[in-house]
């Protein structure tokens, strides 16, 4: 089993001097023998653990695989059971804040302070607390043109949200804006949003502040 010396002179130990052999042996002589395996039996506890793992995995795979159907994404679906898509119900205050956090904070910020020179603030804003007819229009069709808010000049473009948000969502977010950060203005109702949406249905393009100021 041990190796015979190979014909390669570089590997042939007889070709090395006594000193070299000594120093090579020194490193190797102090080495422990090559590793071997013992044959202790498997502990019973491990056997128990393995059985538990196999049991758990098998049950999990059976129960949570949705019948191995490629169109089932929810592991709770049991094949053969009926399920339905139910809408999630939320209270207007939470929904309003959620709509705001999702859509408005990129520009108006969570503090409602906007960005000086770029995006107007909503906190303490006379526009936000003003006539609801104006701000519903802004949310539905967008705003473009020079506008003064709390003494600051802004000239940017606000995109439209009419297609993306439902009447309830627009009402909820405007109500949220009108009651947050110290704002005190009456809430906006979904019916009002519906009414305005129908009234401006033919409108294409954003509103300008000048036009909106004409609305009482």
Partner 1 sequence: MAPVSSPTIARPPPAAASAVDASTRWPVLLFLLSSLGWLLVATVLALITSLKAHTPEFLAGAAWLTYGRVSAASLNALVYGWSTNAGLAVAFWLMARLSRAPLRFGGVLVIAGGFWNLGLTLGLIGILAGDSTAAPWLEMPAYATPLLFVAYAMVGVWAVVTFRYRRLAQVYVSQWYLLAALFCFPWIYSIAQVMVVFDPARGTVQSLVNWWYVNNLVTLWFMPLGLAAAYYFIPKVLGKPIHSYYLSALGFWSLLIFGSWTGPNHLIGGPVPAWVISAGVAASMMMLIPVVVTAVNLHLTMVGSFHALRLSPTLRFVVFGGVNFTLVCLVGTAMSMRSVSEITHFTHFTEAHALQGMYGFFAMVMFGAFYYLLPRLLLKEWPSAVLIRVHFWAAALGSTLYWVALSIGGWIQGQEMNVATVPFLEVVQHTMPWLFAGSVAWIILAIGHLAFVINVLWMLAAPRPAGATVPTLFPNPPAMQGGLGR
Partner 2 sequence: MNRGPLLFLGILAAVAFSWVGLVLTSVIQYGALTPYYDPAEGKLYPDKPPGQAGQGRLVYEDLGCAACHTQQVRRPGFGADEERGWGTRQSVARDYLYEPRVLLGSLRTGPDLRNIGARQTSAEWHYLHLYDPQLTSPTSIMPPFRFLFEYRKVVGQPSPLALKLPADYARRHGLDRPGYELVPTPRVEALVAYLLALNDPYTFPEARPYVAPAKKGGA
d(CA 86, CA 92): 18
CB of 209 to partner 1, least distance (A): 28
Opening angle at CA 134, ends 131 and 209, nearest 5: 120
The site partner of 103 among partner 1, partner 2, none (C-beta below 5 to 8 Å per kind) is partner 2
The site partner of 99 among partner 1, partner 2, none (C-beta below 5 to 8 Å per kind) is partner 2
What distance separates the 2 farthest-apart alpha carbons in the chain? Answer: 109
Q: Can residue 63 be called a binding residue for partner 2 (CB under 8 A)? A: no
What is the torsional sign of CA 28, 30, 35, 36?
positive
d(CA 84, CA 72): 13
Buried b (16+ CB within 10 A) or exposed e, 57-84: eeeeeeeeebeeeeeeeeeebeeeeeee
Pattern 97-126, binding to partner 1, x per CB under 8 A?
Answer: xx--x---x----x----------------
Residue range at the interface with partner 1 (CB under 8 A); choices 15-23, 81-89, 146-154, 191-199: 15-23
Residues that bind partner 1 (CB under 8 A): 1-3, 5-6, 10-11, 13, 19, 21-43, 46, 49-50, 53-54, 56-58, 60-61, 64-75, 77, 94, 97-98, 101, 105, 110
> Which residues form the interface with partner 2 (CB under 8 A)?
70-74, 76-77, 81-86, 88, 98-99, 101-103, 106-107, 115-118, 156-157, 159-160, 164
């Amino acid at each position: 089993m041990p190796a015979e010396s190979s014909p390669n002179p570089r590997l042939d130990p007889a070709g090395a001097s006594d000193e070299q052999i000594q120093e090579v042996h020194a490193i190797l002589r102090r080495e422990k023998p090559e590793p071997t395996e013992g044959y202790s039996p498997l502990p019973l506890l491990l056997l128990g653990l393995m059985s538990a793992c196999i049991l758990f995995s098998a049950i999990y795979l059976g129960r949570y695989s949705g019948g191995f159907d490629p169109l089932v994404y929810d592991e709770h679906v049991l094949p053969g059971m009926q399920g339905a898509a139910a809408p999630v119900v939320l209270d207007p205050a939470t929904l309003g804040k959620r709509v705001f956090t999702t859509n408005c904070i990129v520009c108006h910020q969570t503090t409602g302070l906007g960005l000086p020179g770029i995006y107007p603030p909503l906190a303490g804003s006379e526009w936000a607390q003003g006539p609801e007819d104006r701000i519903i229009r802004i949310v539905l069709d967008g705003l473009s043109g020079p506008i003064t808010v709390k003494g600051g000049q802004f000239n940017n473009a606000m995109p439209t949200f009419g297609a993306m948000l439902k009447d309830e969502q627009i009402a909820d977010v405007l109500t949220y804006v009108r009651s947050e950060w110290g704002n005190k203005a009456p809430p906006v109702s979904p019916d009002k949003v519906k009414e305005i949406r129908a009234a401006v249905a033919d409108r294409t393009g954003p509103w300008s502040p000048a036009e909106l100021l004409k609305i009482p």
